[in-house]
Chain A
């Protein structure tokens, strides 16, 4: 039963989180920061696009470094 449960968990992890968990964490933090800044008078729309540019660049960079090391 345990291997099946593990496979089930692995499927959902891969489906929702994917190859780089840092991206998921980054998205959560970016949206949390947007929510926090939105409560002030400062404009907050730019936070998510900036985070996306940073996260995509970082995850691609990490993947290429890992591949060039192997």
Chain B
């Protein structure tokens, strides 16, 4: 895997997480108190940094074969979860992730919450909202950085890609002061789910002792085939949905004809 492929995979995955975290921080800052929301962001970053410092070297000590098996397995489960959701959304069986809707919901709930201050935090609600949002989405970023980075023995590049994604999304959010609703989030999740599943398959099987035909070049076949599988499932879901809609319409028209007769 080249440095650029590692960078691109981590950058894409972390962009999705950063968009979700930015929406929550924007809602907390706009509706309540910017300072408390930003202190929440800083506190979450400190916790995440501690997790990276604690887990990073520990992962690096593992032998590469076991590392690939465990990390590949986790990536595969994680990637299949993402891909499942993306396929269901694209097939019309699950509502699309709507950052505007999430932002509006957070804004509506915020004024009703109590205003409590604690130490340097003027608004505890804004602090906790953005702390939780950044911590939960950030944990996924840490997971992606450590798994991709440790497998390629290049955690710094994975870290730089994650920081670049966060910086781009945070700057866009700060400039717009609005949720990044125009980001094609489902398409991104589809791409990220495909990448996580493909790398999970590759590393997991390699860690289990399999020899891929063509070694690293096998990824050039695994990724497009995973995309094709997911697109095929979306097409099948859309077809099934269209059929069930037409069956319901035919049934309704037959019933109304029977009533008229």
Residue A2 at the B interface, CB < 8 A?
no
Residue B233 at the A interface, CB < 8 A?
yes
Q: Which one of B78-86, B96-104, B252-260 is at the A interface?
A: B78-86
User: Interface residue count for B (Cβ, 8 Å)?
Assistant: 41
8 A-B contacts, Cβ less than 8 Å apart? A16-B74, A19-B84, A34-B204, A34-B205, A34-B209, A35-B208, A37-B210, A44-B208
| Chain A hits for B87, CB < 8 A | 56, 60
Counting contact residues on chain A (CB < 8 A from B), the size range is 35 or more
B237–A64 touching, CB < 8 Å? yes
Residue A3 at the B interface, CB < 8 A?
no
A64–B240 touching, CB < 8 Å? yes
CA A16 to CA B84, docked complex, whole Å: 14
A48–B210 touching, CB < 8 Å? yes
B226–A16 touching, CB < 8 Å? no
Q: Do most interface residues of chain A lie in helix, strand or loop, or is the interface mixed?
A: helix
Q: Which among A16, A45, A56, A64 is the interface contact of B205 at CB below 8 angstroms?
A: A45
B229–A31 touching, CB < 8 Å? no
Residue B222 at the A interface, CB < 8 A?
yes
Question: Which residue of the partner chain A has the closest CB to B70?
Answer: A31
A63–B88 touching, CB < 8 Å? yes
Given that A47-B210, A52-B197, A60-B88 are contacting pairs, would A18 and B205 also be in contact in the complex, using a CB cutoff of 8 Å? no
A31–B69 touching, CB < 8 Å? yes
Residue B201 at the A interface, CB < 8 A?
yes
Nearest 10 interchain pairs by C-beta: A38-B209, A18-B81, A34-B208, A35-B208, A48-B205, A45-B210, A44-B210, A48-B201, A27-B76, A31-B208
Q: Which among A34, A52, A59 is the interface contact of B226 at CB below 8 angstroms?
A: A52
Q: Which among A43, A49, A63 is the interface contact of B93 at CB below 8 angstroms?
A: A63
| Chain B hits for A20, CB < 8 A | 81, 84
* 16 additional A-B residue pairs with CB within 8 Å, beyond A27-B80, A56-B197, A63-B93: A15-B140, A18-B77, A18-B84, A31-B76, A44-B205, A44-B210, A45-B218, A47-B210, A48-B204, A52-B80, A52-B229, A56-B80, A56-B233, A59-B80, A64-B91, A68-B244
